Amino acid sequence: MTFLGTSAAVPTSTRALPAVAIRREGEVILMDCGEGVQRGALEQSVGLGGPMTILITHLHGDHVAGILGLLQTMSLAQRRKPLKLVGPQKLRKWLEITSEMLHVGLTFPIEFVSASPGSSIRTPGFRVRTARAKHSVEAFSYVVEENTRPGVFYPDRARALGIPEGKLWSDLQRGRSVQVDGKRISPSQVTGPPRPGRRIGYSGDTRPSPSLARFFSRCDLLIFDSTFSDGDRDRALDRKHSTSTEAATLARRAGARRLALTHFSARYTSTAGLVREARRVFPNTVAARDGLSLEVDYPAS
C-alpha cells in the first residue's frame, strides 16, 4: 500500500494531491487521482498496464484532476485491458465532456460503476464496499477487502495423496484444484479452513460519524482524513473535514488495527504534532507521506 499524494486542496513542495495505491499480485486499486498521480506512480513503480480499479471519493479538483492525464498516458502506452472506474454518477459526465474537449483517445474500455451507499464491487482480488461520507459535496468512503485466502497448506496430506512437490503444490496453495493420475484433488483436501483476507478502509474527505465507525469495523489499516489539528477544529467543522484526534477516535471505535493519517493542510510544515494528538487516543498511528509504502499484515486466523 503506497501513498502517492498526501496533501489537501493544494500541493506543497513535498506533498502531491491525494492518491493511494494498493498492489497485490499485479493488480492495482487506485484510490483518488489528484494532480501529480502519474509522477508518483512512476517514482514508486506502480504498474499501469495490469488489472486496475480506480476509486474516486468525490468531485473536488484535488481528488480527480490527475485522472485525465493518467488515462491518456495509459492510451499512449497502448493499454488494451479494461479499466474499472468507481465514483459519483456526475464523474461519468465530467469525464466524457473533458475527454472529448481534450481529445483523449482511449485505447481501452472503461467500465464505469456509479457509487452508492451499500454497493459492493468485485475485482479479481478484492471486494470493494461503499458508504456515504460526510463532506460538503456528495462523497463516498471505501473498504477494500482482499478475497478469502485458502487455509494453511499441509505437506504431509499432499504427499499422502501422491501429489509431487512443485507446481501442483503451489496451485493447491492458491486455491486451485489439480489433477493427479486422473484424479481431481481440491485444495480443501490438503489445507485447513479458509482464512480472512486483509481489509483497508479509506475515508476520503469527511467528518467522522457513527455510521463510518461501523463501516470501517476491524479494518487492518484505516486511512483517514486528518486535514486539521485539534487547535483548528473550527476549520474542520466549517469545511467538513476531520482533525487528527477525531480520526484516532473513529479508528478506536471501529476496532481498526492501524491508522494512517493523510490529507494534511498545507498550513502544517510538520505532521509530528498531529501524530502526537492522534496517538493519545490511538497509539498505532502513523502519518502518511508521499512515497511511504506500508505492508498490510494479515489478520490473525
| Count of C-beta atoms within a 10 Å radius of residue 6 | 30
Instruction: State the DSSP code for 205.
Output: S
Could you give the CA distance from residue 115 to residue 82 in angstroms, rounded to a whole number?
18
- CATH level 2 (architecture), domain 2-148+196-287: 4-Layer Sandwich (3.60)
Instruction: Specify the DSSP class assigned to residue 217.
Output: T
C-alpha cell at 253: 471505535
Pairing of strands 19-24, 83-87: unpaired
CB-based contacts of 258, cutoff 8 Å, min separation 6: 220, 221, 222, 284, 285, 286, 294, 296
In this structure, what C-alpha cell is assigned to residue 235?
A: 476549520
**What per-residue confidence (pLDDT) applies to 296?**
96
pTM for the full predicted model: 0.92
> Which residue matches cell numbers 512512476?
42
- At residue 150, the pLDDT reads 83
CB atoms within 10 A of CB 148: 13
Give the angle subtended at the CA of 299 by the CAs of 298 and 301, to the nearest 5°.
110
Nearest-CA neighbor of 180 among 197, 200, 194, 166?
166
pLDDT at position 175: 86
User: Would you write out the chain's pLDDT as a tens digit for each of its 301 residues?
Assistant: 999 999 999 999 999 999 999 999 999 999 999 999 999 999 999 999 999 999 999 999 999 999 999 999 999 999 999 999 999 999 999 999 999 998 888 999 999 999 999 999 999 999 999 999 999 999 999 999 999 988 899 999 999 999 999 999 999 988 899 999 999 999 999 999 988 999 999 999 999 999 999 999 999 999 999 999 999 999 999 999 999 999 999 999 999 999 999 999 999 999 999 999 999 999 999 999 999 999 999 887 5
What is the residue whose three cell numbers read 496430506? Answer: 157
Which grid cell sits at 202?
479509506
Q: Where in the chain is the domain with CATH 3.60.15.10?
A: 2-148+196-287
Q: Are the CB atoms for 68 and 99 separated by under 8 Å?
A: yes
How far is it, in rounded angstroms, from Cα 195 to Cα 142? 22
Q: What is the DSSP string of 134-196?
A: -SSSSBEEEEEEEPPBP--B-HHHHHHTTPPSSHHHHHHHTT--EEETTEEE-GGGTB-S-B-
The partner residues of 127 in beta bridges, in order of sequence, read 122, 145
Q: Cβ contacts of residue 118 below 8 Å, gap of 6+?
A: 129, 130, 131
Q: Output the pLDDT for position 301.
A: 58
**Annotated catalytic sites, by residue?**
62
> What is the distance between the alpha carbons of residues 40 and 28, in angstroms, rounded to a whole number?
14
Beta pairing partners, 287: 261
Per-residue pLDDT, 199:
97
Tens digit of each residue's pLDDT (9 = 90 or more) over 2-17:
999 999 999 999 999 9
- Paired residues of 241 in beta bridges: none
Q: How far is CA 159 from CA 150, 151, 166, 174, 185, in A?
A: 18, 17, 12, 17, 12
CA distance 149 to 15: 35
